[in-house]
Chains A and B, each alone.
Chain A
Amino acid sequence: MGVMKIEWLDKLGKRVATYWLGIVAFLMLLGLIALGSRYNFGVVEYAQFVLDGLRAGAIYALVALGFVTVYRVTGVINFAQGAFIMLGPMMTISFYEQGWFGTPALDLFTGALLAIGITTLIGVLVERLALYPARRTLPLTKVIITIGAYLALQGAALLIWGPQGHVLPAFTTLTPADQSFRFAGLLVKAQSLWIWGTTALALALLALFFERTILGKAMRACAVNRMAAQLMGIRVDMMATLSFAMAAILGSLGGIVLGPVTRPTYDMGLDLALKGFVAAIMGGLVNFPVAVVGGVLLGVLENFWAGVTQAGFKDLFAFVVLIVILVLQPYRFMMDSPTEVEPT
């Protein structure tokens, strides 16, 4: 049965699909503002929602980048990402408060670097010890393995740090008493600037890495066609390990910059990982720019939604979005989108 193809309609469809995120987000925003009119919110309130949402969104974007990096190279959805997010701030706090094996307490920067380094090592170990031996299994098996790795790391964290919330001090203090800018009724935490800066820097470095370095190009090659990459002499296994290391860096970095605006606990990772996953799936798990845009939009819309309805419904938003995307799979119709990664 042949379906008549009208070329211009097809083209229009693809164009719409490419910008679907923006279009849908804009319509949603209008709807949410309409919902918010019940509360007599002014511009200030809406601007505050957007500002706060941008902060969460930046973190979701960082996490989403970790998902996409691993998925493109290995075809695995890596839920251990949640553990990386948690390990970063928790270890930083330990180093900041107690130092490293009896040394006096380290400063925040050194502590954070050490924490990122160790998390990266753990990321590598997760790949080498848990996923590499299972490289010939079904993708589903690998996903379950990453969930297992997440649970194991979370359990270890509970033993080490206990169930209570910990405190990571803000990176910069404007005045000792107040760590926020206030202007025109808006409140911006100094830490938000760190979060936005870190995300932007991470994005720029990732772009440089993938565009300008041999290693980055080799990783992209693995993503495009693993068999061909292997025939070209690229060590695909090493690339998989490298992708986990990068995911660990992105995750722990995100967790650390987020640390001061929350109270890190051993179980903080999964929620953030799931939100990051929602952002990553917007681009079909393979598209870096869409993952970033998706993360930021998710953060803003989610916060808007929680602001104009009951805050208890906040998480509902992200997961309804997730289901809708999984059912409609709009990323399949995008122009110039990399095709799905073939599992080994």
Chain B
Amino acid sequence: MKVRHELLLVVVSIAMVALFVACAPAPTPTPVPPTAAPTVVPPTAAPTKPPATTASPTTAPTAAPKVGVVYKIGFISAATGAAASLGVPERDVAKLVADQLKAAGGIVGPDGVKHEVQILIFDDQSSADTAATLARRLIEQEQVHVLVASTQTGTSTAIVPIATEAKVPNISMASARSLIEDPQTKKMREWIFKPVPENSHSAGKQAEYLKAVGVTKVCHLYENSSYGQDTLASANAVFPTAGITIVYSDAFDPKATEFPQLAKVKASGCQAVVIGAIPPASPVMNVAVRDALPDVRIVHGHGSCSPDLIKAAGKAAEGTVMPCGKILVADSLPDSDPAKALNLKLIKDYATVSKEPISTFAGHGYDALQWAIAALKTLPNGGALAEQRAKIRTALENLKDFPTTHGLYNTSPTDHLGFNASEFAFVVVKDGKFVVLPKEQWK
């Protein structure tokens, strides 16, 4: 009897598990790519024949016809783990760029010599330790010319001292300012670059808009996370320069169900509410603000420019405005924008390597790799590896009007990002879609 009883329980529990699986949304969303991840790690990406290639830079035959040394880019992203939803698109785009390079037969240097370019793709599993180990291995064993690593601020930070010590340029795909700028000395970190805009740029674009529409008093509501606090710090730094005062600001908990902050928003008499959050927090506050104050202007940050905002906030999102990376609104950019063609082509190509819709993260991976390739293209053939790495660093510091998914970048020795807030697209939510809002229509 007893045995049968327990058997029944086992059967029922299996049925429950089956049911759980059945409940899952049909096309399972991004996280956890269990099968894809292992295959991408070293073997497939790198058809390595290390000794031969590593020896060649120094012994580059002068009589070589047209083919020079092989260039190596070490690419690390978080293809698994907590940041997989960011790292997987980055990895996919790296595969895409590797395929494109292969199809083109490599790149041609200023001296007309052709070089094969290998992208060695690795997964740091969203772990700083793994990222550091991989970076060391890529630098010392694989002798890469340049690193593109990694997805998160934490993993990228772990690579900073390694790259700096080894004097290897690293292009990060994370957004934190502290990666490229030492927070204490306020000086650029010599070997670190990133093509990813920050909250301060978002705030700059918001200020530009608010000023244009004549808003002088705003309320700032931010999610209680380090991201949210950073949006407030950025707004505090940028808004006053445009003559905009933050008359009230407070944090909110994305899981809260009632928001007494709104009584103070009402009392403060601000003309616009800036929401410093990303989904799923930003749609929650969007709905609450819209309920309590049906007519107030709502401005989001660039992190909210994602279909998740519209999906979760529904009608309340209508009419809200925000800065946005151009890749997400490529369709509705004006034809005169050089980023339009670039983004449309990337979106089309990306569809060949991934079934997911394009995200800004794929754009960040693409931009970082394009920076690396552009720098490699400036190298004349020959010279020691250390010398070549130094030359790549110099090239990365001198990108002029460089086209990326975000628009044109201008780097310099004092700016390893080179992004101008005006390169953000500014969008409005209209009929459940993000639509570019040209300056003429700001009112």
Contact = CB atoms under 8 A, between A and B. Distances in A.
Interface of A: 39-41, 45, 48-49, 52-53, 55-56, 59, 91, 94-95, 97-98, 101, 118, 121-122, 125, 128-129, 156, 158-167, 177, 180, 187, 189, 258, 261-263, 265, 267-268, 271, 303-304, 306-307, 310-312, 314-315
B259 to A, nearest CB: 7
B19 interface: yes
Contact of B267 (A45, A94, A101, A161): A45
A125 B258 CA distance: 33
Contacts of A167: 311-312, 314
A159 B9 CA distance: 24
A160 B24 contact: yes
Nearest to B256: A314
A265 B260 contact: no
Contact of B280 (A91, A128, A263): A263
A165 B277 CA distance: 13
Interface of B: 9, 12-13, 16, 19-26, 29-32, 85, 224, 250-261, 263-264, 266-267, 279-280, 283-284, 287, 291-292, 308, 311-312, 314-315
B16 A303 contact: no
Contacts of B250: 310-312
Contact of B279 (A156, A158, A164): A164
A45 B256 CA distance: 19
Contacts of A166: 312
B362 to A, nearest CB: 18
Contact of B22 (A59, A101, A271, A304): A101
Contact of B255 (A91, A95, A271, A312): A271
Contacts of B311: 167
Contacts of B292: 187
Contacts of B314: 167
B169 to A, nearest CB: 33
B258 A303 contact: yes
Contacts of B21: 160
Nearest to A49: B260
A40 B308 contact: no
Contacts of A41: 263, 267
A39 B251 CA distance: 18
Contact of B261 (A59, A263, A311): A311
Contacts of A162: 25, 29-31
Given A59-B257, A97-B25, 20 more contacts: A39-B263, A39-B267, A52-B259, A56-B257, A121-B12, A159-B24, A163-B85, A163-B280, A164-B280, A165-B280, A165-B284, A165-B308, A268-B255, A304-B260, A307-B264, A311-B250, A311-B253, A311-B256, A312-B253, A314-B256
Q: Which of A49, A94, A160 has the most CB of B within 10 A?
A: A160
Nearest to B267: A39
Given A56-B258, A311-B252, A39 B264 contact: yes
Contacts of A267: 255
Given A165-B284, A261-B257, A262-B257, A307 B263 contact: yes
B178 to A, nearest CB: 24
B29 A125 contact: no
